[in-house]
Amino acid sequence: MAFESYVLVCGGTACCSGGADNIVEAFASELAAAGLKDKVQVVKTGCLGFCEQGPIVKILPQGTFYVQVKAEDVKEIVAEHLVKGRVVQRLCYDPEQAKKLVAEANIPFYQKQYRIVLRNCGVIDPEKIDDYIARDGYKAIEKVLFEMTPEQVVDEILKSGLRGRGGAGFPTGMKWKFAMMQPKGQKYMVCNADEGDPGAYMDRSTLEGDPHSILEAMIIAGYAIGASKGFIYIRAEYPLAIRRLEVAIEQATELGLLGKDILGSGFDFEIELRFGAGAFVCGEETALLQSIEGNRGMPKPRPPFPAVKGLWGRPTVINNVETLANIPVIINKGADWFNKIGTATTKGTKVFALTGKVNNSGLIEVPMGTTLREIIFDVGGGIRGGHQFKAAQTGGPSGGIIPPQFLDTPIDYESLAKIGSIMGSGGLIVMDETDCVVDIAKFYLDFTVDESCGKCAPCRIGGRKLLNYLNKITDGRGTEDDIVQMQNISDAMCKASLCGLGQTASNPVKSTLRYFMDEYMEHIRDKKCRSGKCSKLISYTIDPAKCKGCTACARKCPAGAISGAVKTPHVIDQSKCIKCGACEATCKFGAISHG
Amino acid sequence: MGKLTLEDLRRMRGEKQKAIDMRDSSNKDVQVIVGMGTCGIAAGAKDTFTALVDSINEKGLTNVLIRQTGCMGLCHSEPTVEVVVPGIPAVIYGHVDVATAKEIVEKHVVGHELIEGKLLDRPSIDIIKNG
């Protein structure tokens, strides 16, 4: 026996505090009274993600979405909706348009996402080529190989306005055009899957969820520029993505979608995997090519650009995973479909790996021009644990830190650059008031200092100097002159570094100096860290009025810094204290505090 | 299978699309789909997958197809499992441990009953615009 309808009651934290449990009970008793107990099942669900309108009740199979439901409303829902099949208009989202807005698909919240790159992720079995083919897979190569000239393919991509998703946003069609225009001969198509930003995993998920889309895109690119050989440069830390790519390449080769004379078109293309050892600099295109050639991964000055002189001196196009995932869709649906999505300068969508202090961390794809507020508060479900939004970090170690006043900036390459950050590859880390911006800047500098290849002085020495200043400030030894020095070094690194790594490494410092100068000053002048993250700037003290002399803290202290006789107030020896916070956590009387 | 020609590929796409639309390739009308990206696996999706297979074999169910897929985007709720049973709207469960996996087979697949507390929303297909 199957149920006819299902009532889903959101059981997320917010909805529960709004009385979700009472609603469940009310449904149970009302359904029993209406004799529908065996026909309708009531289920409490995980967070439906629309907390501001909670408690939420959703009725399946119709998908009717009721918001701000109270236990008193349940009787009406049962009598009207479940018995008579009539939607209770007044409880639908946006009562003015209630007639149209009955299904959740019509609620703006759910419309924020738009999946082009992730179209197959979470839908198909990535290890089955049949699944991909059924969802219009390898349809774009039919069109490209049999109906289009390479020039037409390049024109289509140019017209689509697609820009590189690896970070810099260079028009993909231009890159292809440069390589296409080079004299015939050996050319190469390279996919950059060396995703290295902390907190970013868009490319990995795309490769794991839909590897064939990348292979198809590389075939198209190879045809357009006249390359018969492709490389996917992927880091060895992505074993699952590697395995799925291997399976995909094997399947495609077996079916003749890779190899000689693809589908009888006369076009040959093969793809080889090359594994990176996880050096961040190898995501930079010239360093990546060095690494494929078997050399130490170090960037080269440009020009010559890889499209002219790349792998083994031959014309080479390097595209990022996410860029490539867009290609088959653009070919299938046309450039004019694609260039209507997004903003004036930036077309299409962007995948973000949404992490940090946000309720719904996850992988999302939104049209360009979506605001940070929509991403963090609508799609991401707001800040975890009721904390305050402090800043968002985009673009990883090369990006900047964006303060709350820019939450409503529509995101594209230009707007992010204007506010001192970059699009980057799509890591989006959300921070709340318990994060210290100086500490965050230090974290990123620490990363880039580690990852700098050391070839050019501005990056090698400048990065180290910046890190030293940041350490000084978080240790409480900073001076105001340090700020001036940091600004000078940042500017010099931007102008004089050889590659993108050095040119952007100071962005976290520059953006925090620009928007959070008051916090730097607090660290320097007042020797205080308001978030309590900079441990050297906090001190633990025992309030003698509250201390009962129970000795619990003294026994817990790993440094032996707390002394005092039983039943008399204890004291902390600041010179011995290692600021671990164990005493504060142990004290049952709230006598220990830090500041 | 040998190398495809253009016609082969087109025919194959037509056939596969039909198979997916009908959702009953080889008499399997129930689909259980496990999110097996790195995020899912790290959260224990392999154990979940095994538990589902064991539980279905134990019950002797021959109409259930267990599939894997990539990341559904709900990394905060991994492991995620999507269940498609005829007559019941397709739903996604989050935080599916071994016990929940067994429950899914017993209650949802066999009993046509949704499971409390672990139900999530569907992030794709019917909600999100597809490119």
Tens of pLDDT, residues A495-522 = 999 999 999 999 999 999 999 999 999 9
> What total number of domains does chain A contain?
5
- CB contact set of A195 (below 8 Å; sequence gap of 6+): A201, A202, A203, A204, A235, A238, A283, A321, A425
- Find the domain containing A472 and state its range: 437-526
Answer yes or no: do A329 and A203 share one domain: yes
Assigned domain for A141 exists: yes
In angstroms, the CA A387 to CA A382 distance is 9
Two tokens, residue A313: 């001196």
Rounded CA-CA distance A267/A220 in Å is: 10
Residue A10 CA to residue A70 CA, distance in Å, equals 12
Return the CATH number at A398. 3.10.20.600
Residue B130 confidence (pLDDT) above 70: no
CA pair distance A360, A437, nearest whole angstrom: 23
Cα gap B58→B55, rounded to integer Å: 5
Q: How does the average pLDDT of chain A come out, rounded?
A: 89
Identify the band that residue A49 occupies on the pLDDT scale cut at 50, 70 and 90.
Answer: low
- For residues A119 and B72, is the Cβ–Cβ distance under 8 A? no
In terms of domains, do A424 and A444 share one? no
pLDDT of res. A86? 82
Checking if the pLDDT of B22 tops 60, the result is no
A294 and A183 housed in the same domain: yes
Mean pLDDT throughout A398-425? 91
Contact A315, A225 (CB under 8 A): yes
Residue A532 counted as domain residue: no
Q: Is 70 exceeded by the pLDDT of residue A587?
A: yes
Q: Exposed, middle or buried: residue A518 (CB in 10 Å: 0-12, 13-18, 19+)?
A: exposed
| Cβ neighbour number for residue A108 with a 10 Å cutoff | 11
In 3D space, the residue among A365, A398, A447, A330 whose CA is nearest the CA of residue A169 turns out to be A398
Helix H segments across A183-232? 202-209, 211-225
What stretch of H or E contains B2?
Answer: none
User: Under DSSP, is residue A354 helix (H, G, I), strand (E, B) or coil?
Assistant: strand
Is A251 within a domain? yes
- In terms of DSSP H, where are the helices of A112-167? 129-134, 139-147, 150-160
Is the model's pLDDT at A43 over the cut of 50? yes
CATH number at residue A187: 3.40.50.11540
B18-55: b or e for each residue (b if 16 or more CB lie within 10 Å)?
eeeeeeeeeeeebbbbbbbbbbbbebbbeebbebbbeb
Nearest to A110 among B12, B67, B128 (CB): B128
Express each pLDDT in B76-127 by its tens digit.
888 999 888 877 777 888 899 999 999 999 888 888 888 877 777 543 333 3
Asked, for residue B35, whether it belongs to a domain, the answer is yes
User: Closest Cα to residue B114, out of B95, B90, B98?
Assistant: B90
Give the DSSP H or E segment for A582: helix A582-586
Mapped onto helix, strand or coil, the DSSP state of residue A538 is coil
Whether ipTM > 0.85 holds is no
Written as six digits, the tokens of B114 are 């949704």
> Do A140 and A253 have their domain in common?
yes
Report the CATH number that the domain containing residue B77 is assigned in CATH.
3.40.30.10
Within 51-70 of B, beta carbons closer than 8 Å to A belong to 67-70
Using CB atoms, which residue from B16, B35, B117 is nearest to A122? B35
Domain count, chain B: 1
Q: What is the pLDDT of residue A107?
A: 43
- Rounded (5°) CA angle B52-B53-B54: 95
Helix orientation angle between A150-160 and A211-225, rounded to the nearest 10 degrees = 120
User: CB contact, 8 Å: B102 with chain A?
Assistant: no
Q: From A309, A337, A365, give the residue that closes a domain.
A: A337
Q: Is the pLDDT of residue A98 over 80?
A: no
Q: Does A22 share its domain with A100?
A: yes
SS3 letters across A368-419: CCCEHHHHHHHHCCCEHHHCCEEEEEECHHHCCEECHHHCCCECCHHHHHHC
Query: Do A53 and A95 form a contact (C-beta atoms < 8 A)?
Result: no
Segment A28-37, tens digit of pLDDT: 898 888 888 8
User: Measured between alpha carbons, how far is B29 from B61 in angstroms, rounded to an integer?
Assistant: 11
Chain A residues whose beta carbon lies within 8 Å of the beta carbon of residue B76: 359-362
**B96 within domain boundaries:** yes
Instruction: Work out the end-to-end distance of chain A between its first and last CA atoms, rounded to an integer number of angstroms.
Output: 62
Distance from CA of B97 to the nearest CA of A (A): 15
Same-domain status, A69 and A181: no
Longest dimension (CA), chain A: 90
Do the Cβ atoms of A113 and B128 come within 8 Å? Answer: yes
pLDDT reading at A109 higher than 80: no
- Return the closest-CA partner of residue B19 out of B8, B36, B31: B31
* Sequence-ordered list of residues with C-beta below 8 angstroms from that of A555, at least 6 positions apart, any chain: none
- Check whether A105 has a pLDDT greater than 60: no
Residue A366's DSSP bridge partners are A350
Q: Is B127 on the interface with A (CB under 8 A)?
A: yes
By residue count, chain A amounts to 595
DSSP class of residue A526? I
Question: Is the CB of A344 inside 8 Å of chain B's CB atoms?
Answer: no
User: What are A153-207's pLDDT values in tens digits?
Assistant: 999 999 999 999 987 889 999 999 999 999 999 999 999 999 988 888 899 989 9
Are A136 and A233 in a shared domain? Answer: yes
Contacts of B110 in chain A (CB under 8 A): none
> In chain B, how many H helices and how many E strands?
4, 6
Domain that holds residue B40: 30-120
The verdict on A395 and A333 lying in the same domain is no
Dist. CA A319–CA A191, nearest whole Å: 5
- Residue A346: closest CA among A245, A414, A425: A414
Q: Which amino acid, one-letter code, is at A571? A: V
* Interface contact A28, partner B, CB < 8 A: no
Cα four-point dihedral sign A460, A461, A466, A472: positive
Residue in chain A lying closest to B74 (CA): A362
Sign of the Cα torsion A241, A247, A250, A254 reads negative
Whether residue A400 lies inside any domain: the answer is yes
**For residues A264 and A281, what is the distance between their CA atoms, to the nearest angstrom?**
40
Q: What is the CATH number of the domain that holds A585?
A: 3.30.70.20
Sorted by sequence, the CB contacts under 8 Å of residue A156 that are 6+ apart come out as A148, A173, A330, A331, A334, A335
Q: How far apart are CA A148 and CA A327, in angstroms?
A: 14
- What CA–CA distance (Å, rounded) separates B116 from A125? 27
Indicate whether A253 and A363 sit together in one domain: no
Query: Which amino acid would we find at residue B71?
Result: C
Cβ <8 Å between B1 and A363: no
Of B38, B73, B94, the CB nearest to A46: B94
